[in-house]
Amino acid sequence: NKASITGIINTLKSNATVENRDYVVGVPAIYMSHVAEALPQNVAVAAQNCYKVGKGAFTGETSADMIKDINCNWVILGHSERRHVFNESDELIADKVDYALNTGLKVVYCIGEKLEERESNKMVDVLSRQMQSIIGKVSSEKWADVVIA
């Protein structure tokens, strides 16, 4: 809710003060513009998702162009909830990464395994598969715009 968002804004205003650091906060789409206007210039706002294309019948999705329209330059893609609750495949997430980067957004690319994958020693295979899915989509000059989380 907006009260919680205001608390986070105030915390960032008083604590995001170390020089030569990049501060990025992921915000629900409905609050992105509000947060971007309220935060100091040294704190960037990231969308928590975007779709793989800019136009079409994708009700409820946010495009990279929409994110850029409100002066936000980051998006979080591949988060565990998107992978496991919404069943987003590595291929779909890779397409989202490709589209976001080619639209001029920077990407926080989330990788990670489920607990049962970790317990069955499949962690390296899962992380490797997730990374491999974007390797062909990210050009050498675009890797500077990707953060692996």
The per-residue pLDDT for range 19-72, each reduced to its tens digit, is: 888 899 999 999 999 999 999 989 999 999 999 998 888 999 999 999 999 999
The C-alpha atoms of residue 93 and residue 78 are separated, in whole angstroms, by: 6
Are 110 and 134 a contacting pair, CB within 8 Å? Answer: no
Residue among 92, 69, 73 at smallest CA distance from 26: 73
Superfamily of domain 2-148: Aldolase class I (3.20.20.70)
Q: What is the percentage of the chain residues whose pLDDT exceeds 70?
A: 100
SS3 call for 75 = strand
pTM of the full structure: 0.92
